[in-house]
Structure formats: structure tokens, C-alpha cells
Amino acid sequence: MPDRPKTDQVLIQPGENFWLWLRSPRDGATAPEIEHTIGPVMRAALFDANPTEEIWELFKTNDEPPRWRIGYARPIEVIDIRHAPAFGGKPPIPPGVRLWDRHWYPDGPMALSEPTGARPWYVLVRFWWRGPPTRLLAPAFRTNWMNMIIRAPFNADWLLAEAWTPLAEARAPDPGEETWGDIQERRIKEGAVVFGKYAGGAVVVIGLGLLVYWIAAKQTKGST
């Protein structure tokens, strides 16, 4: 059993964070389809933690898996998607410090309720938090809970089951927050600066050459 005080707050630490979601299979979505819905789900989950109402932004490089950035969460990526057989067989997660467990909030009907439908999905998400340490209500979205839509009209239930931050020795290299377009724009700007530097030097050399030629031509004309 978790050895932390029972709470309905999930802690987000600066740097690398892992969130393990439970998702219902009611809409029949496949793993690739679920992967491409993480952007709006994470935007809704982090709505109260970001300084402004940032939209979710999808970016990817060539054939790499999709990535998103939303406010302080840059980038966000799906690490693993698999069915949860009898709530076992969780995706492997690096050793770390647990920041949230849905069993820490035993009296919360949203936190402990199971996603409806047989064989729900585990969806493991990793993101880098580039803001201060933040606490927010553990996100849970139900499509039909007391006949209400909770915060977002998703076609499935999404419940945050667990959250971790990895130990220092288990952390992945920071991928940075630049998109492919950002990288290309930066390279173009850097290339333009280098070109301008060398072009400017070439102009100076050409100008000096013309000046020497003009002086020599003038001296030759004066001596005749």
C-alpha cells in the first residue's frame, strides 16, 4: 500500500514526469488512435497548472512518434499503450519517486472508480515540466458520471492512476523543447549570420582592392 498521506492532489516536479492513465475502451479506439488524442486530454488535465489557457500543439519530426507541448509541459509523448488485463501488466516505469496514486484518495468517487468496459487501456505518458513545482487536482474525466460531462467531452473515460518522477540515475536526456520547424528556423538564422559575416568581409576586401586599384590608376595617370 502507498506510504504517503492520502490526498486528491497530484504533484508535478520540474523536469521529467511520468503519468499512467487508465482509459476505457468503450469507443473501440485502437492504440494509434489513442496516441493521437493525448494532446487534448493533457491540455484538459493541466488546465489549472499552466499560467494561461495554452492550446495544445502537436509537433513531430519525420516518422517519429507524435509529441506535444502545452504551456510548461514541453514536450509530451506517449511511451506505452497496452490493455490492462485484470489491472495487471502495467507498462515498465523507471525507478523513481511516486507523486500520486489513486488509492491515496479513497473517498473520491472520481479517483477510485474504474473505467467502464472490459479490458481498459493503460496509457503511459512522459512529459518535461518547465515550470515551478505544481499541485493540482488529480484529473479524471468521465463521459457519463451522474449524467454529466466532466470538463471535457471525450469519447472515453480517462483516470490518472499513478504519477512518478524518475531518480537522477534513471532520467532520460532532456530532448529540449524545440520543434523541427524551430530547429530549421534557428539553423537558417545562424546560417544567415555566418553568411552575413563572411559576405561583409568579402565586401571590405573588394572595397579595399578597388581603392588600391583606383590609387594606382591615378598615380599612373599622373606620371604620364
Report the alpha-carbon distance of residue 19 to residue 63 in Å, rounded: 24
C-alpha cell at 114: 474504474
Q: What is the pLDDT along the chain (224 residues), one digit of tens a residue?
A: 445 556 788 999 999 999 999 888 878 889 999 998 898 899 889 988 886 656 656 666 556 778 888 889 999 999 999 887 655 667 887 789 999 888 777 655 444 455 556 678 999 999 999 999 999 988 888 765 554 444 445 678 888 989 999 998 888 898 887 655 555 666 677 765 554 565 556 666 677 777 776 677 766 766 65
Residues 6+ apart with CB under 8 A from 179: 59, 61, 69
Question: Across the chain, where does the E strand assignment appear?
Answer: 9-12, 15-23, 57-59, 67-70, 73-83, 96-101, 121-129, 134-137, 140-141, 158-166
Q: Give whole-number Cα distances, 219 to 105, 126, 209, in Å.
A: 94, 75, 15
Report the alpha-carbon distance of residue 152 to residue 168 in Å, rounded: 35
Domain limits, the chain: 9-170, 178-224
C-alpha cell at 1: 500500500
Residues 6+ apart with CB under 8 A from 93: 18, 20, 124, 164, 166
Give the rounded distance of the alpha carbon of 204 from its chain centre: 47
Q: Which of 56, 3, 13 is nearest to 163 (CA)?
A: 13
C-alpha cell at 160: 490518472
Q: Give whole-number Cα distances, 155 to 28, 115, 116, 149, 186, in Å.
A: 10, 12, 12, 10, 39
Overall pTM surpassing 0.75 (yes/no): no
Report the alpha-carbon distance of residue 33 to residue 54 in Å, rounded: 23
Report the alpha-carbon distance of residue 13 to residue 21 in Å, rounded: 18
Per the document, the length of the chain is: 224
pLDDT at 78: 94
pLDDT at 138: 86
